[in-house]
């Protein structure tokens, strides 16, 4: 993709300072920028690279004050990070457009799909499934029976979608993720043997959901496990049966959410956190990394620790915890003095 500076400015709603006819054909980091590439300055830690970078065009903030003149072309915007994201999306859309059905793939005769479908090598789609417009299915994907996949959704290599699951529009599911596997449920019989609980539900991903690589989202025992509109999930996340995750919640890598828990809207869950089952997590809750949430959490709370408590209370408690060795020494010394006396 080749763009002139004035065209970049139009895409990101910016103003050009310098040569508006200079062209770029790639994107690069500002610290390792090359000629004919475009970079952005979104973090003050990298300010010095503005003057040494070899990038031909650099996106900077409207409020940035130059310490000295620069030779490269600048594009000023309100938010360089947001502008660069817009540009990345534009570049991505102009990549080679994939379409067509690979001859090694298998699509059942009664599957409904559009002419612009891309269906990669060794992928399978079983009976009564529906694939929307501009759906992209990469190689070695399995799609079960009665699955619905909305317009513009992408399934990267090795994704598995079990029977009856629903994927909304503009969803992205990264490599190796499994949607709709059985939940982890067993009951003891009179002899103490574990008897499997059959899961008859499904998983619903609403629109604009992105799921990272190697995640597992289990189907409901009855009803649906629901990932609502705009949710973003990182790699290696486990979502158990009958969980509901609210709109625009963001979940970092290696999080585990146990069965029948409801997560509210606009929450942020840090990496390696664990959430117990049958809880209600309110809206706009922040769960710090490696926390263990054992009870329900009210909206607009921030929690940390194992078991998770209020963030400020945790920090106060940690001060005492890290001083515990010296406190014990003082107590031992005091005890021995009293004993000797």
**Which spans in the chain are helix H?**
5-12, 49-52, 80-93, 311-322, 324-340
Number of residues that this document lists for the chain: 341
Q: CA 112 → CA 117, 123, 228, 322, distances in Å?
A: 10, 16, 25, 61
Residues 23, 8: Cα–Cα separation, whole Å: 9
User: Is 241 a known active-site residue?
Assistant: yes
Residues 57, 51: Cα–Cα separation, whole Å: 12
Instruction: Please provide residue 276's backbone torsions phi and psi, each rounded to the nearest 5 degrees.
Output: -70, 170
* Assigned token pair, 177: 């993720």
From the list 199, 241, 278, 320, the catalytic residue is 241
Are 46 and 26 a contacting pair, CB within 8 Å? no
**CA end-to-end distance (rounded Å), the chain:** 85
Instruction: Indicate the pairing of strand 26-27 with strand 37-40.
Output: parallel
Q: CA 294 → CA 253, 261, 278, 304, 324, distances in Å?
A: 19, 11, 10, 11, 25
Total Cβ atoms within 10 A of residue 328:
10
Sign of CA dihedral 126, 127, 130, 131: positive
* Assigned token pair, 146: 């009665």
Are 152 and 190 a contacting pair, CB within 8 Å? no
Are 159 and 144 a contacting pair, CB within 8 Å? no
Q: Which residues belong to the active site? A: 241
């Amino acid at each position: 993709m080749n763009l002139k500076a004035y065209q970049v400015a139009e895409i990101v709603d910016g103003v050009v300072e310098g040569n508006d006819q200079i062209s770029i054909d790639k994107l690069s980091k500002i610290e390792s920028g090359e000629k004919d590439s475009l970079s952005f300055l979104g973090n003050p830690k990298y300010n010095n690279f503005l003057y040494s970078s070899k990038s031909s065009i650099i996106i900077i903030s409207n409020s940035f004050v130059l310490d000295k003149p620069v030779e490269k072309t600048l594009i000023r915007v309100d938010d360089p990070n947001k502008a660069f994201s817009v540009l990345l999306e534009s570049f991505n859309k102009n990549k080679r457009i994939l379409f067509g059905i690979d001859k090694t793939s298998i699509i059942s005769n009664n599957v409904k799909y559009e002419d612009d479908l891309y269906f990669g090598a060794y992928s399978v789609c079983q009976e009564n499934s529906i694939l929307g417009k501009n759906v992209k299915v990469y190689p070695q994907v399995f799609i079960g029976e009665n699955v619905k996949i909305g317009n513009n959704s992408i399934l990267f290599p090795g994704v598995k979608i079990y029977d009856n699951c629903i994927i909304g529009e503009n969803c992205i599911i990264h490599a190796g993720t499994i949607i709709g596997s059985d939940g982890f449920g067993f009951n003891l019989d009179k002899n103490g043997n574990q008897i499997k609980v059959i899961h008859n539900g499904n998983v619903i991903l609403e629109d604009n959901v992105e799921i990272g690589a190697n995640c597992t989202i289990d189907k409901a025992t009855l009803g649906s496990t629901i990932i609502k509109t705009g949710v973003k999930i990182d790699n290696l996340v486990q979502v158990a049966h009958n969980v509901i995750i609210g709109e625009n919640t963001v979940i970092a890598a290696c999080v585990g959410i146990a069965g029948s828990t409801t997560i509210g809207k606009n929450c942020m869950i840090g990496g390696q956190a664990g959430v117990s089952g049958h809880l209600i997590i309110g809206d706009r809750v922040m769960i710090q990394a490696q926390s263990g949430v054992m009870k329900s959490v009210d909206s607009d709370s921030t929690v940390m620790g194992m078991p998770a408590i209020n963030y400020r209370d945790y920090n106060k408690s940690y001060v005492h915890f890290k001083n515990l060795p010296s406190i014990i020494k003082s107590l031992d010394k005091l005890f021995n003095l009293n004993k000797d006396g």
